[in-house]
Amino acid sequence: MDNLISILGSAIPFIIVISIVITVHELGHYWVGRWFGAAVESFSIGFGRPIFEVKDKRGTRWRVNWLPLGGFVKFVGELQAPTDSRNQGVADPNVDITEIHGAEGEPTVKLVGKPYTELGPLKRLAVSLGGPFANFVFAVVVFAALGMAMGVAQSKEVLVNGTVAGSAAEAAGFKPGDILLQAGGRTVTSATDVQRATVLNAGEEVRYRVLRGGEQIELIAVPKSESTYNKDLKVRESIGRIGIDLGERETEIRRLNPIEAVGYGFWRTGDALDATVTVLRRLVTGKDGLDKLSGPLGIFTVADNGTDLHMKQEGVSFDKRLIGAALWLINLSALLSIGVGFFNLLPIPVLDGGAAVMCIAEAATGREVPEKVQKVGLTIGLACLVSFALVITWQDITRLPMWAGAP
């Protein structure tokens, strides 16, 4: 019984994070569709049978399903999966009502709005992009709010204390006392900025600008890939390192004003997007393997271990531990939201990017892509995603402590 309670408790952070990110994404589609007058059949969080359901005055069914691993918004006449049938419904332009006639013996469903296919390709393109856009906006808002509420660590100087013998930093010419000004083309305000420029670029040149004796010098180092065990999150990961010991001088936590916070939110979101693009580029070019990616099991592990890290602190009051865990999950949700938004922009059928390609093709040719072609594409896309998910899940399993060679 204790083990069962522990497992259920471990699932709560994961469910919270996934539910936040998916709800934000689907609300992006929903509100853009509503803006253009589309009729919405249902808005669902999770899959499977509903554990809660309510119908609003527009006829839309709002559902929370028992399997919290995703969600969707379904517009009338929209094809989302190979098994979907295009029940367009009958639209009455005079009263902006769409009627969906059910099978024999089933009641007619009346929804406010018009079928999805009547929106036109450019409006449907906007609906497809609404989900990823909402994910990015959510991240900007979260980072901005955290910048105002919690502040941002800033150091007057980030300097080199020393280098590891035989390391990339030593070969590049770093000297004790050097002050880091830029790393990877970005201004350095904390040691974290240097780490961000280094960890994802193993085997590639990274440019660092330092101040030495009043003179600015550019140094080029090639980080080496090292496998390390993250004791806090209890996962093994491969990261780039140059072998440098950094110190910070006059570090302070500065709370941002609203204008600064918005800029910080955009910067953090852009930085995370840049990191995501870097990972994808290195995967495509073969410089990194799929072990750089995480699926639901990896997210579950990180969310659970990160929450435990805060909740099991000694000498800290329960309310402060709870606040720390909540802020951790909110920050994780923002980062995951960026990943989900970017991933959905990939031009793969079943994803938003694939739907966007269909809309662009229709707008360019003036003809809708045939339904049979769409269903074939959805079948291929779904098969690719399932195969990809299985591979990523296996990677997540190999990173668990029992397999990862945890100390």
Which residues are identified as catalytic?
Answer: 26
Tell me whether residue 149 is exposed, middle or buried, using C-beta atoms within 10 angstroms of its C-beta: 0 to 12, 13 to 18, 19 or more. Answer: exposed
Beta strands in 56-140 (DSSP E): 61-75, 90-92, 97-100, 109-112
Contact 25, 132 (CB under 8 A): yes
Phi and psi for 348 in degrees, rounded to 5? -115, 130
* Residue 50, φ and ψ in degrees, nearest 5: -75, 140
Tokens standing for residue 391:
């591979």
Task: Report how far residue 249's alpha carbon sits from residue 380's, in angstroms, rounded to the nearest whole number.
Answer: 55
Q: How far apart are CA 74 and CA 71, in angstroms?
A: 10
Buried b (16+ CB within 10 A) or exposed e, 284-323: eeebbeeebbbbbbbbbbbbbbbbbbbbeeeeeeeeebee
> What would the two tokens of residue 298 be?
């990896």
Q: Which residues pair with 319 in a beta bridge?
A: none
Give CA–CA dist 24/330, Å, rounded: 13
- CB contact at 8 A, 76 and 115: yes
158 near 180, Cβ under 8 Å?
yes
- 402 strand-pairing partners: none
Long-range CB contacts (within 8 A, 24+) of 368-374: 368/117, 368/121, 371/79, 371/86, 374/79, 374/349
Taking the CA of residue 359 as centre, how many other CA atoms within 13 Å lie in the half-sphere pointing to its CB? 23
